[in-house]
Structure 1
Amino acid sequence: MSQPSGTPEQLSPDFQKQLVIWAYVCAGSTAVFVWDILNNLRSEYSLLSRRRLSAATVGYFASRIATFVYVLGITFFTSYPLPDCAVAYTAFDAFFPIGVSGTASLFFFRVRAIFHRELLPTIIFGCLWLVVMASSITITVAAGGAIGVGDPTVCVVAVRVSAAFFGLSGIAITVYDTLVFFAISYRLVTNFQPEQRTPGEQIKVLFSGANLPAFSKSLFIDGQMYYMIAVVANIVTTVMDFVPS
């Protein structure tokens, strides 16, 4: 939540309402994430203890741990009167690029596996992953720290630049997720479709996944579900960054 105009004693009712809503959103996000961790605890323990450690495994756990620390920290930041808002925000915000980069790396490894480690897709999506990582760092750069306002004290972010600058990360992630989704879908569909199909039929199959083997179709549908959720969430977040509060 960016810094309001006026002194701490002059917090407007509208801004106070925004703070409350933001705190509820953060608390809800943390609750969902904790539920997801508990629901997958057994499989994650198996992944860590029974399989060889790989770059994908490191990326997965980096994503999970960093995201959990970030959402939990921001929940405390928005709902609890912390003694030093600036230090707390810097500590919590440092985990945002790690979580985003870790999550994006998983899709890089998936694309690389689908394309059988071909050089060109590896280079293209490797560069796109670097763009996502760099854009996520802009969140920490754009924020000039945090201050305590009001009584009781509420922590808010002191923004250095235009709030729209925060939307760059959301745009980069949305573009990256879109390209990953279409690249994987195209590869899966073209591997199992007859060449005599017309372009229109191929496009239709690209969105339906018809005639794919069971495993490939499961992977295809899983990608569609993630893409839908991720893109909707990123679009909403980006719009909120660009629309003045």
Structure 2
Amino acid sequence: MSRYVFWATVGAFSWDWIVSFPDEVQLVQKSGIRLPIVTYMLSRLGTLSYIFTAAWFEALPVHGSCQTVLLIACISYLFATPGTAALFFFRVRAVYDRSKIVTIIFGFLWLATLGAAIAFIFLVEADHIGTTDYCIETHVAPGVSAPVIINTCSATLIFFAISWRLARNNSIGDTWGSYLRSFYRGDGLPRFSKTLLQSGQAYYLATVGLNIATMIMILLPSVPPVYQAFLSIPNVAFENAMACRVFRAIHLGTIRPTTSSHNFQAEPRMPQYYEDASRRAARSQLYDNSRPTPLTVTVTTECLREDTSKKSSYISD
């Protein structure tokens, strides 16, 4: 049964990449070749290489050295999981305006994830099953769970750090109740900030369960070595697919605020010509001296300027 799960994971991840490829082209054209974009691409390539090589190791005959194929999978893992973790390191650093303390704390956690992924190469061994060409892990050290554990802890801390920052800065009140409502439901948050919050919640809630299940499978001594890595392939693929989906949604700028200062909703993008015409019409109304200007227009302008400045800060990294 495991081989069907592995190849289904390869197929699902490949299909996700094919479907998202137009957005990725647009992402490169809009942002250019920068460190976050390069990291994004390396994480995608590393994840695809890892899940394909690991599925080959687990489900197909290997006519050469099983240890060599396993080594290729481990090196690919070195780009997959740390690359995915780096995307959220860039995100929390941008939300906190490149704070040195935040950079040091979460940079250390990312380096720990990278170090654990490097150590992963030396913690597993493989050989053929008897006289067959199929491979099996002959030794899986307990330390192989370290990348999963550290990555899960890092993702949890990043999730709470970003959520608290957004809720604290945009809450509708100064009480703990208002902070919690902003944290859990996004009350009072501008549309873009609310999207940052909810996308982080979706990523965390979707991946943490699979991460915990993967850790349990690796750490339980009663689980045979052949099944200890059963969930690692779907876990890495799903985590990367979710992280990249969030990354694209934020950087492509598909969310923009409405004209209400307390009621933000998603709007479809208009062609550039209509956006320019809309801005010209708004300016003509703002500066028309023949009639009084409502006070709400000024409030809306400030709100939009504030949210736009925050948006540029969040996606500048």
Q: Structure 1 residue aligned with 2:52, among 72, 75, 78?
A: 72
Give matches, 1:52-71, under 5 Å: 52-71=32-51
Give matches, 1:122-161, under 5 Å: 122-144=103-125, 146-150=126-130, 152-159=132-139, 161=141
> What TM-score do you get using the length of structure 1 for normalisation?
0.85
Aligned to 2:61: 81
Aligned to 1:31: 11
The alignment status of 1:230 with 2:193, answered yes or no, reads no
Which of these two proteins has the greater Rg computed from alpha carbons?
Answer: 2
Paired amino acid for 1:67: T
The alignment status of 1:47 with 2:24, answered yes or no, reads no
TM-fit CA distance, 1:104:
0.8
TM-fit CA distance, 1:73:
0.9
Taking every aligned residue pair, what percent have the same amino acid on both sides?
A: 31
Distance 1:25 1:172 in 2: 25
Residue 139 to residue 22, structure 1, CA distance change in 2 (3 Å):
farther
Q: Deviations over 1:56-108 (max 9, x none)?
A: 01110110000000001111111110112121111122110211111111101
Q: Structure 1 residue aligned with 2:90, among 86, 104, 109?
A: 109
TM-fit CA distance, 1:48:
2.8
TM-fit CA distance, 1:148:
1.0
TM-fit CA distance, 1:126:
0.7
Aligned to 1:186: 164
Aligned to 1:167: 145
TM-fit CA distance, 1:200:
3.9
The alignment status of 1:100 with 2:77, answered yes or no, reads no
TM-fit CA distance, 1:150:
4.2
Distance 1:97 1:30 in 2: 18
Q: Which runs of 5+ in 2 are unaligned?
A: 224-317
Residue 189 to residue 160, structure 1, CA distance change in 2 (3 Å):
closer
TM-fit CA distance, 1:151:
5.6
- After the TM superposition, which parts of structure 1 deviate over 3 Å for at least 4 consecutive aligned residues? none
TM-fit CA distance, 1:160:
5.7
TM-fit CA distance, 1:178:
0.2
Q: Which runs of 5+ in 1 are unaligned?
A: 1-20
Distance 2:74 2:116 in 1: 14
Distance 1:22 1:165 in 2: 23
